[in-house]
Amino acid sequence: MKGHLLTALALAFASSAAAAPAARPLEIHLVIACAPGAAHVPYAHQGVAEELCLAPDVIISRADITGAQLFSTGYGDEAARLTISEDAVGRLTAATTANVGKRFAVVYDGHVVSVPVVVEPITGNQLEISVGSTGDSVEDFVADLNGAPTQ
């Protein structure tokens, strides 16, 4: 009887783990000038559509995110504040120092959701990202990055 209970618990755990939604990928890339034959990535923001080319190097990935919070911007919108690992801070600082004035693309679940311009080098472990074009709410985006299931 005890063996059957353990088997049933193991099967129940395995099926609930399989039913959990997969974490959606997140990457941050430098936006570069498109070379002939380069793959273009669509991006639309505030009614304007454009085609972007992204550098192949991933500056920040989902694995670098150690936490996410919802916060209100000074413009009355909600955005995500991401905390990144110390290893990622070095990569981000180097990339933003070398590319002030250039754009970076935040790619979430295969879609470009934000393309901020680097105004100054980012040297801390937090990023504030407006993610209006995820197709999900900002709350769902933050919950997903924190490992909670989203609907």
Tell me the pLDDT tens digit for each residue of 11-26.
333 434 444 556 789 9
pLDDT at res. 149: 56
pTM (2 decimals)? 0.79
Helices (H), ranges, 57-111:
86-98
Res. 58: pLDDT tops 90: yes
CA separation for the pair 73, 52 (Å, rounded)? 26
Q: Where are the domains of the chain?
A: 24-145
- Beta-carbon contacts of 38 under 8 Å, excluding residues fewer than 6 positions away, are 53
For the domain with range 24-145, which CATH number is right: 1.10.132.20, 3.30.1360.200, 2.160.10.10, 3.10.20.440?
3.30.1360.200
Q: Which is more confident, 120 or 140?
A: 120
Secondary element (H or E) of residue 31: strand 26-32
What does the pLDDT look like over 107-123, one tens digit per residue? 998 889 899 999 999 99
pLDDT at res. 62: 94
Average pLDDT, integer, range 127-149: 78
Give the side-chain half-sphere CA count within 13 A for 21. Answer: 13
Q: Which is more confident, 20 or 81?
A: 81
Q: Which is more confident, 128 or 136?
A: 128
The vertex-98 CA angle with 145 and 102, nearest 5°, equals 70
- Beta-carbon contacts of 147 under 8 Å, excluding residues fewer than 6 positions away, are 23
Beta strands in 40-110 (DSSP E): 41-45, 48-54, 60-61, 65-72, 78-84, 104-108
Q: Which is more confident, 151 or 75?
A: 75
What does the pLDDT look like over 92-104, one tens digit per residue? 999 999 999 999 9
pLDDT at res. 4: 40
Q: For the chain, what is the largest distance between any 2 Cα atoms, rounded to a whole number of angstroms?
A: 68
- Beta-carbon contacts of 61 under 8 Å, excluding residues fewer than 6 positions away, are 25, 26, 27, 28
Q: What confidence tier does 37 reach under pLDDT thresholds 50, 70, 90?
A: confident
